[in-house]
């Protein structure tokens, strides 16, 4: 196959026989974790869901395509979501944050890591002012 090869483990995991592994190639039709294009594919899918009225029903910030927000009926921002690759930070009213977390868990199977401690190399420390 020259310089290109199928991912290791395809035979061991039962996806193909050794003969198929030795003689076939695969075409990647979508993003795959660890793939160079995976972050872009995830961002596209996430953005589509975030903007969808049946999804998160948010608007995308014009200054930063990784920032989303939603306003309430009184035109006040109720939740802000910052998404960097597959890490999200949520700020807003407790009800709005809880609903967004539940929607994200249902759509993407997200796992909550708790309070923000570190993002993009910045450490956060929470306490009384």
pLDDT of residue 80: 97
Higher model confidence: residue 16 or residue 83? 83
d(CA 25, CA 30): 16
* Structure tokens belonging to residue 95: 């009800």
Quick check: 28 pLDDT over 70? no
pLDDT tens column, 44-65: 999 999 999 999 999 999 999 9
**What does pLDDT average to over the chain?**
85
pLDDT tens column, 69-105: 999 999 999 999 999 877 889 999 999 999 999 999 9
What does residue 39 show for φ and ψ, rounded to 5 degrees? -65, -40
pTM for the whole structure? 0.69
d(CA 49, CA 33): 19
DSSP state of 65: T
* Tokens 């996430």 -> residue: 46
What does residue 12 show for φ and ψ, rounded to 5 degrees? -60, -35
């Amino acid at each position: 196959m020259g310089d290109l090869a199928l991912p290791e483990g395809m035979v061991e995991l039962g996806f193909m026989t050794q003969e198929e592994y030795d003689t076939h190639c695969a075409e990647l039709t979508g993003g795959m974790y660890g793939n160079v294009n995976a972050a872009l594919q995830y961002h596209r899918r996430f953005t589509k869901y975030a903007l969808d009225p049946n999804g998160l029903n948010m608007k995308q910030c014009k200054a930063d395509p990784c920032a989303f927000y939603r306003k309430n009926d009184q035109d006040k921002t109720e939740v802000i979501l910052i998404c960097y690759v597959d890490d999200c930070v949520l700020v807003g009213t407790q009800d709005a944050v809880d609903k967004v977390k539940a929607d994200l868990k249902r759509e993407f199977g997200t796992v909550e890591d708790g309070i923000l401690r570190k993002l993009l190399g910045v450490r956060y420390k929470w306490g009384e002012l």
